[in-house]
Amino acid sequence: MFTLSHFDTPCPETVTDQILQLVVDNLTDISSVALPPSNPLFAIYQYAVGYEVHLYLQALDGTRGVNVELITAMDATDPDKVLGFVLYLPVKDNPQACGVAFMAVDASQRRRGIARTMLEELRKRCPHIELSCAVAKVPYFEALGFQVLGARGTQVLMNTHEHVTDGLIAVLDVAPIYRSNEVRQIHSYLLQRNGKRAMVDAEKQRDRHLDQLTAKVQAFLQQR
């Protein structure tokens, strides 16, 4: 069993830490890059996406000019344990609409209806929900009442309505994360460990991977 908690102010540090661990553990599933762990660049995206979520969680204090709210699923027998979360961004001037930024469920807790229940709770709060997902996950979200609207880069854009979410969704600028000293240090370490040729190959593999994901989305939409 599990219970749901809603946060529109900073959550406890223990909750934050567990959410960030879920992000790191489920990076391939929740990132639009969807890089496999076998790629040496995976460590960079683990840090960067994890830090991005960290910044969104900090933004719950209202000081970053970004509307952020959070729904967590907590273990009913261990109320301090996070089983899953949905981090979403309410639309400015439209309390009925939002965009899902990140969502994850602990791998050991899946097939228990946790994601479904969290999204149902979110829909009660914001009936007009927008999200993007991998092609393979489209049937799952369609079963929850989402409709395919088009493409968003390497993912399929879906919505609970037949049109995109009205209004503006403020998002954080993540470009500085990838230019940060931390990312440069991780890259330097990977370069030293793997060698220049391996890192160049890793970048080429990533680029091919992204091109393949984009093509897969376009082919999927053409077949609809």
pLDDT at position 224 is: 85
Backbone angles phi, psi at 149, to 5 degrees: -110, -25
Q: How far apart are CA 101 and CA 90, in angstroms?
A: 10
CB-count burial class (<10 Å; 0-12, 13-18, 19+) for 77: exposed
Q: How far apart are CA 86 and CA 69, in angstroms?
A: 9
Amino acid making up residue 82: V
pLDDT at position 176 is: 96
Both tokens assigned to 218: 């376009």
Put the strands of the sheet holding 69-75 in their side by side order. 2-7, 69-75, 82-91, 94-105, 128-133, 155-159, 147-152
Q: How far apart are CA 199 and CA 145, in angstroms?
A: 42
Instruction: Give CA 127 to chain center in angstroms.
Output: 20
Q: Which of 166, 133, 168 is nearest to 148 (CA)?
A: 133
End-to-end CA, the chain: 38
What Cα–Cα distance (Å) separates residue 146 from each residue in 118, 130, 208, 217?
14, 8, 29, 17
pLDDT at position 168 is: 87
Half-sphere exposure of 161 (CA within 13 A, CB side): 14
pLDDT at position 92 is: 87
Beta-sheet strands, E only, within the chain: 2-7, 69-75, 82-91, 94-105, 128-133, 147-152, 155-159
Q: How far apart are CA 189 and CA 113, in angstroms?
A: 40
pLDDT at position 64 is: 87
pLDDT in 10s for each residue of the chain, 224 residues: 999 999 999 999 999 999 999 999 999 999 999 999 999 999 999 999 999 999 999 999 998 889 999 999 999 999 999 999 999 999 988 889 999 999 999 999 998 999 999 999 999 999 999 999 999 999 999 999 999 999 999 999 999 999 988 788 889 999 999 999 999 999 999 999 999 999 999 999 999 999 999 999 999 999 98
Specify the CATH number of the domain 2-171+181-223: 3.40.630.30
pLDDT at position 56 is: 97
Q: How far apart are CA 43 and CA 100, in angstroms?
A: 24
Both tokens assigned to 55: 């910044």
